[in-house]
Amino acid sequence: MRPRKRAPHLPAEIEIEIISRLFAALPQILCIAAGLIIGSAIMAAQTGRWVFWWIAIAGVATTAARVVNILGFKRREPKGRLTLAEARRWEAGYAYTAFAFTLVIAALTVTAAWLHHPGGFVLSLGLTMALTAGSYLRTLRYWICAGLSTIAVGTQVAAFLLSGDALYQALSILLGVYLYSIYESSDYIIGQFEELLIIRRDLDFAASHDPLTGLANRRGLEKVLQQAREADERLGLLLIDLDGFKEVNDRHGHHAGDDLLKQVAARLQAMVRPGDLVARLGGDEFAVVVRGSADPAALSGIAERAVSLIKAPFVIIGQVVTVGASVGISVPSAAVSTNWTVESLTRSADEALYGAKRAGKGRSMIAQWDDVA
C-alpha cells in the first residue's frame, strides 16, 4: 500500500466531520451486500456446494454488523458533540466491519478460482468494482479506502494470475493499474476535501470572531445563544460597556485604544470559566455568556468582578490609564426560562446596561424580565 503524501494531522473538528461522513453510505452498502448474498445463494443452488452457502451466510453476518455500527452511530450523533477519541472508536468499528465484509468478497473470489467457476469470477469482479469505485469516492479516510481496495482488488489480481488463463492473466495487469489509480485518486480527492473543510472552517471563524481581540463577535455570540436556546440550557448574559474609553482613544490615539480593548478582552477571558463565552460586539462593548447558571446573585457577583477588573489601571504605550465599566445582566426568570429568544435576551440585557449607566456608571444592573420578555 502506497503511503500518503499529505501530512496525517488534521484539526480535531475536521477529522470528526470526515469520520462522521463515513456513516452516510448505508444504501450503497446494502446494494453491494444484496448482490453478494443473492449471487452466492444462486450459485449454491446451482452447484450444490455448501461453500457458497457459507459465503452467503458470512455476507449476511458482516452486513448485519455494518448496519448495527452505522445505526448505532446515527442514534449517538444527536446526543451531543463527538470527541475525537470517540469519533475514532466509531471509525474503528466502521473499518473492522467493512474489512470483514471485504474479506467475504475475497473469499468468493478465491472459491471461484478454486472451483474454476466463471459465474463466480464475474460476480466477484463486479462486487469488487462496485465496492472499490464507491469506496474511493465516498470513503474519505485513506487508510480505510486503501485497505478495502487492497484486499478486494489484490485478491482478484492473485486469482487471475494463478488461473492459467491468458485472458485472465492479462486482466490482472489491468486490475493492478486500477488499484494504483485508486490509491492516487483517493489520495487526491481526500486531500482536496480536507483542504476545502479547513478553508470553510477558517472562513466560519473569521465571520464569527473579532479580528482585533480574537473574541467571538456578535454573530458568534448569537450562534452560541441560539444553540443554548435549542438545547434548553440555563445561562445568563452580561453586556459590558466601557466608561471613559472615548477619552482614552481621543487623547492617546487609535493604536492606544486598540491596545486597551485587547487588554480588556484578555482580562475578561481570564475571568470566565472554561465553556463560558466572551465576545466583543463592536466599539467598546463586550458580552459574557455564563453557561449552566441562572442564579441572579451569582451573575451579579461575576458582573461586579468584571467591573473591578476593568477599573484596575492599564499600561498603554508606556502610560497608565484607567477606564470603568457598566454591566447589564439578563437571566431568564423561571416563568420564561423555556421560551426566551436570542433577541429578547439581548434586548433585556441592553436595557439593564443603559439602566446601570443612568444610575451613575461603574455598576451592574439585572434586567426585570417580567417587563421585557
Residue in this structure with the C-alpha cell 447558571, named with its chain if needed: 293
pLDDT at 230: 81
Q: What Å distances lie between residue 208 and 214, 215, 261, 281, CA to CA?
A: 10, 9, 18, 11
Q: How far apart are CA 258 and CA 315, in angstroms?
A: 13
- Number of Cα atoms under 13 Å in the Cβ half of residue 132: 28
Cell representation of residue 102: 471485504
pLDDT at 335: 44
Q: How far apart are CA 243 and CA 236, in angstroms?
A: 22
pLDDT at 372: 44
Percent of the chain with pLDDT over 70: 93
What are the pLDDT digits (tens) for 51-107?
999 999 999 999 999 999 999 999 886 666 788 999 999 999 999 999 999 999 999
pLDDT at 333: 61
Q: What is the DSSP letter of 207?
A: H
Architecture of the domain whose range is 218-372: 2-Layer Sandwich (3.30)
Query: Mean pLDDT score of the chain, rounded to an integer?
Result: 88
Q: How far apart are CA 350 and CA 282, in angstroms?
A: 14
pLDDT at 69: 96
Percent of the chain with pLDDT over 90: 54
Q: How far apart are CA 112 and CA 55, in angstroms?
A: 11
Bridge-partner residues for 316, per DSSP? 319
pLDDT at 364: 87
The answer, yes or no, to whether residue 150 has pLDDT greater than 70, is: yes
Work out the average pLDDT over 40-56: 94
pLDDT band for position 363 (50/70/90)? confident
pLDDT-wise least confident of 78-87, 198-207, 302-311 = 78-87
pLDDT at 233: 81
Report domain extents, the chain. 12-207, 218-372
Q: What Å distances lie between residue 122 and 111, 127, 129, CA to CA?
A: 12, 9, 11
pLDDT band for position 370 (50/70/90)? low
Work out the average pLDDT over 37-55: 94
